[in-house]
Amino acid sequence: MLPFASAAAAQELQDRATPLPPPVVAPGQPPAADPDTIDFSADVLEYDTNSETVEATGDVRLVRQGQRLRADRVTWNRGTGQVVAEGNIAVTNPEGDVAYGDRIELTDSLRDGVVSNMLVVLEQGGRLAAERGVREEGGVIRVTRAAYTPCSVVNSAGCPKEPSWKITADEVTYDPARERIRYRGARVTILGISLPLPVFSHVVGDRSAAGVLAPEFRIDRVNGFEFALPYHFNLGTNRDLTITPRLFTNALPMLQVDYAALESVGAYRVTAYGAYSRRSDDLLTDPTLVPSSENAFRGYLDASGRAQFSPEWSAHASVRLTTDRTFLRRYDISRDDRLRSNVGVMRIDRDSYFAINGWAVQSLRLDDTGQVQPVALPEIDYRRRIDDPLLGGRVTLQLNSLGIARDGGQDTQRAFASALWELRRITTLGQEVTFSAFGRGDIYNTSDTLATTVPLYRGSEGFSSRAIGAVAVDVKWPFIGTAFGGTQRFTPRVQVVAAPRIRNLDIPNEDARAVDLEDSNLFALNRFPGYDRFEDSTRFTYGLDYALDLPGIAISANIGQSYRLIERASIFPDGTGLTDRWSDFVGRTEVRFRQLVSFTHRYRLDKDSFAVRRNEVDATIGSRRSYLTLGYLRLNRNIGPELEDLRDREEARIGGRVAFANFWSLHGSAIVDLTDAAEDPLSLSDGFEPIRHRLGVQYEDDCLRLGVTWRRDYQDTGDARRGNSFLLTLALTNLGR
C-alpha cells in the first residue's frame, strides 16, 4: 500500500455533514403497493424524451424495499437502468448501515453500485472509508485503498482527531448479512505505531464469531516468558468455546478451555486448565528421594451454573477442584487457600423457603493434610412465615438437618426444629419496641470425636439432644432535630435477653467457631455464628446510634456494650470480648463526603484497659478516575494458638490509581503482613513482611486498552516461587473482545 493512501483514508473516516435519507415509510403514509416501486421526492424534476433520462435536483430522496438514498442530484437512464447520484450522497441499507460519497453509480434497484470517496458508518459500530467502493447485490461492500476503525474520530470538543487504532488495507470487504469485515494487504496502527497484519477478518459489533482472539504476554521468574493465543469457536447463538494454548520458556505447555452456554432455563460456564509438568510436592520433600524429572498431570476445574425452572424453583452449582496445592499459584490463576464447591436446589415464595444444599472443601494449605476438611451433604432447610392470629406479630418456623463427613476426622449429623415470634410496635412517645420469643429443639449424632484436636469443638460421642429457649425485648428511642445546617439523629438502644442454661458443650461445634464481638452482632439474639452454639444466661445490652446528614456530608456512628447477670464461666473463648460478665466496647464510625471520601472504622476496646482488641480501617479518597484506597486490620485478642479460627493478625493494604493525559493512568497496590510472634506464635512474619505488590501503567479509551503491569511476590509456596512477573494487556474493540 502506498503511504499516502493511509493518510487519505484516515482523513475520510471523519463524519460527513450530510442529512440522512428518510425512513422506509414516512409516519402516516401507507407503504407502496408494488414492492418494486421507487418512492422519491425532489425540488425539481426534468424528463428528456430524446435520451429517456430523468433528472432530479435539489433535496432528492429515493426509497425502495428498505434501500434509501439522499443526494443533491440524481440522473436515471431508463434505457440502461443506470442511476447516477452526485453531491452530498447518503445511502442506507435495510440493516441500518449508512454509506456517504461524492458520486455513486447504481442500478435502478438501488441495491448495488460504485461509490467514489466513500465513507460507510456501520449500524453495529465502526466506520469504513475508501477512495473507491463497490456496493454489490445483497448489500456486500467491497472497497479499495481503505481504512477501518471502531473508535471515535472526534474529541470531547467535537474536533477531528486521529483514532486510537485503525486498519488500512489494499482491499476491504464488508458483508452485512454475516456482520464480518475481511482484509487483504492490511496494516494495523495503534497510537501511531504501524504493524503489518496477515489476511484476516473480524466481526462487527458485539456478536460472537469464530477466530483468533487477542494474544497474552507475561514474564515471571518461575515460568519464564509466557505466550497465549486464544481461539474462539462460535457454537451457536447461545454457546461458545474458547481454547487457549499457553507456552512457556521455563515450563511445559498448559491448555486452558472455557465453555459457556445459555439455555432456556439458565446459564452455565466451565473453565479447565491442564498441564503435564513437575509435581508441586517435589519441592516439599527431600530432592534425593524424588527424581527432578518426574512429571505428572496437573490441572484445575472451575464450573458454575444456575437454572430457573419456575418463579419459585431454581438450582445452582459451583465446583472448584485442583490436582495439587500450588498449581493455582504457580500459574497465577488464583490465590485462594481453600476451594469450596456447592450444589443446591431451592424454592422461594412470598412466605416460605426450602433448600437442599451440599458442600465440599479442598484445602490448599501446605500444613493441612486435607483429611479433616468436611463434606456437608445434605443440608435441608425449610422456613415458613405465618401471621400470629392471637397477639399479632409474625412467627418464623424452621426445620433443618445436616450431615458432615470427613476422611480422617469427626463425623456429625444434626437436625433441629425452631420457632421465632416477633412483634414490633411504636409507642405514642416514638419508641420502637420489639418483642421476641425463640424456641428450638436439637438432636445430634457424633462419631470419632477424639479426631478433633480442640476439646471445645468436640462435643459428646454418640447421640445428644438439646433444648433452647430465649425471650427478648429491644427498645429504640430516636431523637431527630436540625443541627449544623442539616439533620442529626440520636438513638439510644436497650435490649434485654433471657435464656436458661443450655447444654452447649455436649454438642459438637462445626459452624460457630469464628465468634467475635462486633458492631454487627452486638444486639443479635445469638452472638454465635451458625447453629451449633447458642448464648445462654440473661444479659443487658445498651448502645447509642448517631447520624448527621449535611449537604454533601453523611456521618454515622454507634457504640455499645453488654452485661451478663450470672457469674458462671462463659462458653465463649477467652479474647472474644464476651468471656466476662461485662463485654468489651464495640463500635463503628462511617464518614462520607460527596463522592470523594469514604471512611469506615470498626473497633473493639478492652473493657478494663481500653486496649484496642480490634482495629479495622477502610478508606477511599478521590474520584473514579483518580483515587487512593487504604486498609488496615489488627486483631489483638490474645487468643491461644489452639483455636485456628481466632488467630490474631495485623495487615495493611494500599491501592490507587492516578489518571493523567486524558486516557493514561498509573495504578498500584500492595499488601504487607505486620503480624509478629507476639501477636501470633505460629506466624512466620517478622512484623513487616510484604506479601505482594502490583504497579502498572495503562491507556484506555472508548475502543483501546493497553497496559503493562509489574507484580512481585515475596513468598514461596511449593513451586510457586517468589519473584517478579510482568503482564502486557492489549484489547481492541471488535478484535479479540
pLDDT for residue 352: 97
Q: Are 416 and 464 in contact (CB under 8 A)?
A: no
Is the entire prediction scored with pTM above 0.85?
no
pLDDT for residue 68: 84
Mean pLDDT, rounded, for 378-395: 94
CA distances (Å), 80 to each of 53, 113, 534, in order? 10, 14, 94
Mean pLDDT, rounded, for 490-498: 97
pLDDT cut 70: percent of the chain above it:
89
* Residue 617 CB partners (closer than 8 Å, separation 6+): 599, 600, 601, 630, 631, 632, 633
In this prediction, residue 8 has a pLDDT band, given cuts at 50, 70 and 90, of very low
Q: Please say if the pLDDT value at position 389 is more than 70.
A: yes
Q: Please say if the pLDDT value at position 5 is more than 70.
A: no
Mean pLDDT, rounded, for 667-675: 93
| Number of neighbouring beta carbons within 10 Å of residue 463 | 10
pLDDT cut 90: percent of the chain above it:
49
* Residue 552 CB partners (closer than 8 Å, separation 6+): 593, 594
Residue 697 CA to residue 684 CA, distance in Å, equals: 33
Q: Which of 74-83, 216-225, 488-497, 676-685 has the lowest mean pLDDT?
A: 676-685
Residue 369 CA to residue 521 CA, distance in Å, equals: 33
In this prediction, residue 432 has a pLDDT band, given cuts at 50, 70 and 90, of very high
Helix (H) or strand (E) holding 202: strand 200-203
Mean pLDDT, rounded, for 639-652: 80
pLDDT for residue 192: 85
Residue 111 pairs with which residues in a beta bridge?
Answer: none
Which among 465, 444, 450, 443 has a CA at the least distance from the CA of 410?
Answer: 450
Per-residue pLDDT of 304-323, as tens digits, reads 999 999 999 999 999 999 99
Helix (H) or strand (E) holding 276: strand 266-278
Per-residue pLDDT of 361-377, as tens digits, reads 998 887 665 567 889 98
pLDDT for residue 737: 46
Question: Looking at this protein, which amino acid is placed at residue 531?
Answer: Y
What the chain holds in terms of domains, given with CATH numbers, is 39-210 (2.60.450.10)
Cα radius of gyration rounded to whole Å, the chain? 35
* Residue 483 CB partners (closer than 8 Å, separation 6+): 548
* Residue 622 CB partners (closer than 8 Å, separation 6+): 596, 628, 656, 657
Which among 100, 114, 138 has a CA at the least distance from the CA of 21?
Answer: 100
| Number of neighbouring beta carbons within 10 Å of residue 421 | 17
Mean pLDDT of the chain: 86
Per-residue pLDDT of 519-567, as tens digits, reads 999 999 999 999 999 999 899 999 999 999 999 999 999 999 999 998 7
713 exposure class (CB count in 10 Å sphere: 0-12, 13-18, 19+): buried
| Number of neighbouring beta carbons within 10 Å of residue 158 | 8
Percentages (nearest 5) of helix, strand, coil residues in the chain = 5, 55, 40
